[in-house]
Structures are given as C-alpha cells and as structure tokens.
Structure 1
Amino acid sequence: MKPSRTACALSLAATLATLVLAGCAASPAVRYYSLSAATPATAAAAASKPLLVEVPPLSLPERLVRPQMVVRAPTGQLEILDLHRWSSPFDAELHDALASGITQQLGAIDVSGGGRLAGQPVYRVAVQLRQWEAVQNQRVDAGFSWTIRRSDDARNIACQWNQSEPVGAGMDALADGARTLTAQAAQRIAASLTALDADAAAKCPG
C-alpha cells in the first residue's frame, strides 16, 4: 500500500526538523568577555568629603564601536569575530571598566548620572582611546589620552599613556591582556586626578 500524502508530508517535516536541530547543535557557541577586573581593586579609604568624578562617554576609533572583538591576525589582516564578543559594545565596556576602576582607586563617587553635592567641585575626566590593536597570540597595544578639569576653577591637567601587553595563545589570553591594560589605564588616570587635587600645578605622574 502506498503511503498517504499526509504521511509523506509528516515524514518530510520530521526529517527537516531533525536536520535543523542537528545544525543548531553543531553551531559553535558565542563567548563573552568583560574588561572589568574579576576581583575589584582595593578602594581607597573614604574621606569626609569624597571626590566627585564625572566620566563622560569615551572617544575612540569607529571600528571598535561594536560588541564583537576586533583583532588583527599575525598576518596583518583585521578581523571582526562574531563568536567572541564583549559583554556590551566595546565603547560602553571600556567606559564602565575605567569609571569603576578610577572611583575604586580613589574612593570617589561617580556622579555621571547626576546626584552632585551642592558646593562641592566635580572632576570631569574625558578619556580618548587613540590606539587599540589586539594582535592574536601576540599582544595588545593601547594608547590613551585624558584631560581632567575641575568644575569650580581653571584647575586642569592633560596626560597620555601608551603601553603594550604581551599575551599568550587564544582569545582568553587576549581578553586577559586587554583587561590588564584597562586596569593600568584606570590607575594612571586616578594618579593624575590625585596629583591635580593636591596641586593645581601638578604634572602628569611618570
């Protein structure tokens, strides 16, 4: 007896469903990374009037404004990796990691979202990421510049810092290198702010 059209249709649908499920099961999973330190930095002791800090959105190359990791292969080719992503778009991820690192280093309060105290000056920290090259299995190069300006007078400072962090093989190592550079940048910026708060004529820490 010939199978009915309904039975054939059901059999075909079941076969297609099996193929789709098999294809999904074989698809590699997306991996997510963060620039924030796994263990928070030790916060400075809170003063009676903690510093107030505002960190506006960062300025950085347009090619990096995406959640996917942007890396350079050892051959020099630039690659956007769909399966390796930051936990948020890179500009937001870097901003949050820097702002958190700076305030933790200083025991400061981030007032970027409001909540300023009347009569207390705010330090506005504007950061520019001038260079960011993540070379697979080799290193991460970063170039930061920043200006810090106090809201109540002409006290300000402008600094820059370049660093290269060697990394091992694999994307986990590359993410670790990026996280290390971000933490170091936050430390440098915090040191600049501390120097400026103590002396209006302060120079960028060496």
Structure 2
Amino acid sequence: MSLATFFKAAGRVPAVGLVAGIAALAACSSSPPARFYTLGGGSGDSTVRTTAPASFYLELAPVDMPPQVAKNQMVVQDGTAQVRVLEDQRWASLPADEVRRALSADLSQQLGAIDVYGTPHPDGAAVYRVKVNVQRFESSPGKRALIDAVWSVRGVSNQAVLTCRTLSEQPVGDGYDALVAGHRQAVDALAGAISAGVKTVSSAPAPSMTSVSAKSAKPAMPAPPRLLPCPMNAAPAQ
C-alpha cells in the first residue's frame, strides 16, 4: 500500500487504528540491510606490477558446488539435519565463484603461475588443468567451517594426472565474519594441497611415443595418461 492510499483510507478509521498502521509501516521500513561477504581477501596494495612470463600456466575450471548451498544466501547448520537460509547474510557472488576466485589467487601466488582458463596462452607452453568438485561446504557459526573437495590435476604435455581428496575443517568463533574467515582458511588449505599436486604432475617426464616400423602407415601414438600418487597432504579420491 502506498502512503497516499494509506492516508486516504485513514480518514475512515479510528485514530487508534491510524497510529497502529503508521507504526506497522515504520517497522517494515526499518528491516536490517543485508550484509555481503567474500572469500577474496584484498591486500590493499594498489601498486601496479608487470611480471615476467610464467614458466607454466594453470587452467582452473569452474568449481562444482552442492546444490543446497549454491545460492547467494548463506546456508548454515547447527550440527543437526536442519539448515537455515539467511536472507540478511549473503555471499557477494555464488559460493562456487567465491571459491574459484580465491583458489585462483592462491594458486597463482603459490606457484608463480597464471590462471589462463578461457584465455589464449602461448602455444607449446606447459599447461596444467585443475578441476575441483566441492562435495561438502558446511557452515556452523561458532563451531566450524568445512570444505570437502575432490580435485584433479592433469598435465597437457606430459599426460600425467592425479586425482585426490582434501578435507579441511576449521574451528571458528562467534559471528559471521569469523565463519567467513574460517572458510577462507579452508580454501587456503585446499590451495596448498592442489599446489603440491601441480608440482607432482609437473615433475613427471613427458611420455615417449610408441615406436612403429618404417613400413607401418599408422602414425606414432602417445602413451596413455599416467596416474600419479597424491602428495602427502592429500588423500586419494574415494
């Protein structure tokens, strides 16, 4: 109801009803604004830097996220099977985008590489493709922030691949700022495991081509992908 309609109708109601109606309108207009959170932590350094070309590149694909938390509103739980969707506490973008953006920044910094997903890169450069499937993204205010993810790294040139699992559970204090900080720490732990995986794959030698006789019309075929063991801080995917 607009104010004009309200005051027009107010002439036909008792004064007590008029006061009650005005109070109701004031209550509606004073609802708390939504707060927005991000997993990307800016350093505040505005200095422009131009870096040397990277020795290799990353292709971090979009992150998969459980459908029940794939929304801007925070979804929290208290340790039971019941969850709450918080309208006033929201992510700045979808959680999958928040996790991917934070992972990309962490991996680029830890490895000295560039994430070129969806971006042209020099031909012949070493490229490592990273895929992350978050199977659990749990938020328990005052208790914990948990990320359980299966991830893989594949070398484009050496055809080496590994698939691992990382479970990162961080205790958090009261408040949503602490909860978001806990999720950021969980992403940092996940990035550390993936960085170790990239280093493992990058150290694998390139496969040799299968030999063929001079009379054979078939071209040499590359060896099949080689499965590598997970690094020490990650478990094999189940």
Q: TM-score if structure 2 supplies the norm length?
A: 0.71
Q: Deviations over 1:44-103 (max 9, x none)?
A: xx7764221001111221112111111102454211111111110111111111112111
Higher helix share: 1
Higher relative contact order structure (alpha carbons within 8 Å, sequence separation ≥ 6): 1
SS of equivalent residue, structure 2 residue 178: helix
Question: 2:55 aligned with 1:50, yes or no?
Answer: yes
Q: Specify whether residues 89 and 20 from structure 1 end up closer, same or farther in structure 2 by C-alpha distance, changes over 3 A only.
A: farther
Structure 2: state its 5+ residue gaps.
Answer: 1-6, 12-18, 45-50, 206-226, 233-238
Query: What is the CA-CA distance between 1:166 and the residue it aligns to?
Result: 0.5
Q: Give the Cα–Cα distance (whole angstroms) in 2 for the partners of residues 56 and 129 of structure 1.
A: 13
SS of equivalent residue, structure 1 residue 100: helix
User: Paired residue for 1:203?
Assistant: 229
Structure 1: state its 5+ residue gaps.
Answer: 1-7, 41-45
Q: Specify whether residues 53 and 26 from structure 1 end up closer, same or farther in structure 2 by C-alpha distance, changes over 3 A only.
A: same
SS of equivalent residue, structure 1 residue 57: coil
| Larger-gyration structure (1/2) | 2
* Structure 1 segments of 4+ aligned residues over 4 angstroms from their partners: 17-21, 46-49
Q: TM-score if structure 1 supplies the norm length?
A: 0.82
SS of equivalent residue, structure 2 residue 158: coil
SS of equivalent residue, structure 1 residue 132: strand
Matching of residues 90-109 of structure 1 within 5 Å: 90-109=95-114
Instruction: Report percent identity of matched pairs.
Output: 31
Matching of residues 41-80 of structure 1 within 5 Å: 49-80=54-85
Question: 2:65 aligned with 1:39, yes or no?
Answer: no
CA contact (8 A) 1:52 1:123 kept: yes
Aligned length: 193
Query: What is the CA-CA distance between 1:152 and the residue it aligns to?
Result: 2.1
